[in-house]
A and B are shown apart, each in its own frame.
Chain A
């Protein structure tokens, strides 16, 4: 697979915005699907739709502050469903949102290849941050499985390429 990453100046990068309905509805839908679908199909829990939505909004808006706030909100709400301490997903998705937005400022992430690679890396980073917080702050003994994480990264990267294509239709030119 060839990955096309083109470095452009900020002036050449399109900055998008979204309607309020999309800004609220898409994350909520992702959360509902994330919490509902694995009930029936357990293996689908490997997908992290809220993370993909966070990455998508962050890189589309290309502004770090909205990106990290989006990540914080989505992650915090996701935490509310987990039964674990609230803040684990919030912190990790905040960082991912910030990093994704910062990356979107500098790199063209509209290319499917770059989207796959970006999601692959961010999923890895997200899992690492989550595990680190869980171990350091919460004191849990989080088992780390490289194979599982890598498979999850690949699957989420592939799903991101598909989903981002659909979500592109909701973009409004800023």
Chain B
């Protein structure tokens, strides 16, 4: 060895000096990252590029052996587990149906209020391949970089809760600043008390919610979710659970609320990087897959005549939230803003909010979100029939005539088509059955529900047999244009 050094002394010294200078140069040079728009020091890029392949190899090897174990050896109990999972899946499907109804109701309510929500449109699964290796720095390395579309300040989450945000992006890997790092911060809300604060990390990796006044009462066990105010994390993602709350010693007017993170930050393997968030006002037409028949009914409800000074209102498509259904207007007219069905935002809601529809405003006001869809489809059918549209419920949903006073769009027609399909009744809907303005039974849904006995058939409009219709009382001052269908919707008395 000694002879090697003595023999190659000059080249070795040359390489050492060059190495020192290159490293020194790399610490100064910032390579512009076209994706983040910020400069990253060359030495950082080199270091990460040198380390991450090794980490990736370690993790990959570990996964290989673990997968081998799971795939070939650990196969017993799979059948039982499969049965259990199947049962769980069935249960979850029911739960999903119920939640979907709730979500759609929530969207309508949000649309009523002009609420802007952030939707997670795209995310990337990334594998955690390393950490900062320091107790003071809570940073992890993931195996996706800007070649995979990662950019700085993207939110990183797990199904359990948020993890952090992307700090630095490299071609094949990224650094994620976890929420329990002292440099980290996120806007949060205490789920029960709706108190807003900022969650920050500490040197020890603990999480504290700050900026909540000390006179507020915060109970341990309360869930903490993201508020969306930081414009990094979408609203409503779980953050953690309150462990305890005490007066902040540094600022006694505020509370120091210690939080246990929902995501297991010490054992992260895979994370989701949210690469695309869209902020939009939810509209009924954007629900896409399912529009309840009650919404179709709401669209068919006659509207107040357009004011001459606002001729543009006619052109506004249904499904947009620019209808004059502002909360203030709802207050004025007495139509409840919490009436998502009878007051559909584009037409029904706006109309119910601006002026009473032919259906009694009180009825529209008491209609609750969980109106049974099939019965409402029946109403829509009747409406269409009266307006000269096909009597078939499916047709009525798909063919929106110009006679309808709601400016139907192609999207809505599609959605209506969905809504006309027979669907399994979910308990949530069943509980609210018949509470919407005009709820009847629809033959299209006869497979799922029996026709109500308290409904009446409307012979004049040629409704299909079995479609009970009750003429809906009209308001005397309601204009009746020739192309507008009379609101011959059947109804049940509100409970």
Contact = CB atoms under 8 A, between A and B. Distances in A.
Contact of B17 (A68, A85, A86): A68
Nearest to A90: B21
Interface string B231-247: 00000000000000000
Contact of A94 (B9, B10, B21, B32): B21
A95 interface: yes
Interface string A93-113: 011001000100000000000
Contacts of B9: 65
A98 B25 contact: no
Interface in A5-24: none
A102 to B, nearest CB: 7
B26 interface: yes
Contact of B24 (A64, A69, A87, A139): A87
Q: Which of A64, A69, A85, A86 has the most CB of B within 10 A?
A: A85
A77 B56 CA distance: 41
A87 B21 contact: yes
A65 B22 contact: no
A161 interface: no
B28 A102 contact: no
A94 B20 CA distance: 11
Contacts of B14: 64, 68, 94-95, 98
Given A87-B28, A137-B26, A64 B10 contact: yes
Contacts, number: 54
Given A65-B9, A90-B24, 15 more contacts: A68-B14, A69-B13, A76-B21, A86-B28, A91-B21, A91-B22, A94-B21, A95-B14, A98-B10, A98-B14, A137-B22, A137-B25, A139-B29, A139-B31, A139-B32
A95 B24 contact: no
A138 interface: yes
6 contacts: A69-B13, A76-B21, A85-B25, A85-B29, A88-B25, A138-B25
Contacts of A131: none
Contacts of B42: 137
A141 to B, nearest CB: 13
A94 B29 contact: no
Given A72-B21, A76-B21, A137-B42, A65 B28 contact: no
Contacts of A91: 18, 21-22, 25
Contacts of B26: 137
A76 to B, nearest CB: 7
Interface in A97-148: 98, 102, 133, 137-139
A65 B9 CA distance: 8
Contacts of B21: 72, 76, 87, 90-91, 94
Given A64-B10, A68-B13, A137-B42, A95 B18 contact: yes
Nearest to A76: B21
A135 to B, nearest CB: 12
B5 to A, nearest CB: 12
A87 B22 contact: yes
B46 to A, nearest CB: 10
* Chain A interface, DSSP helix/strand/loop, else mixed: helix
Interface string B73-95: 00000000000000000000000
A64 B25 CA distance: 23
A147 B493 CA distance: 96
Interface string A65-76: 100110010001
B24 A86 contact: yes
A86 B20 CA distance: 12
Interface string A41-68: 0000000000000000000000011001
A94 to B, nearest CB: 5
A88 B26 CA distance: 11
B461 to A, nearest CB: 75
Interface in B202-246: none
Nearest to A89: B21
B25 A133 contact: yes
Given A91-B18, A137-B42, A139-B31, A65 B13 contact: yes
B141 to A, nearest CB: 24
Interface string B18-40: 10011011101101100000000
A139 B28 CA distance: 12
Given A68-B17, A90-B21, A91-B22, A85 B10 contact: no
A139 B33 CA distance: 12
B17 A94 contact: yes
A52 B91 CA distance: 83
Contacts of B17: 68-69, 72, 94
A167 to B, nearest CB: 24
Contacts of A138: 25, 29
B7 to A, nearest CB: 13
Contacts of B10: 64-65, 68, 98, 102
Sorted nearest first, the 10 A-B pairs with minimum C-beta distance are A87-B25, A64-B10, A85-B28, A87-B21, A90-B21, A91-B21, A98-B14, A65-B13, A87-B24, A138-B29
Contacts of A139: 29, 31-32
A72 B25 CA distance: 13
A32 to B, nearest CB: 23
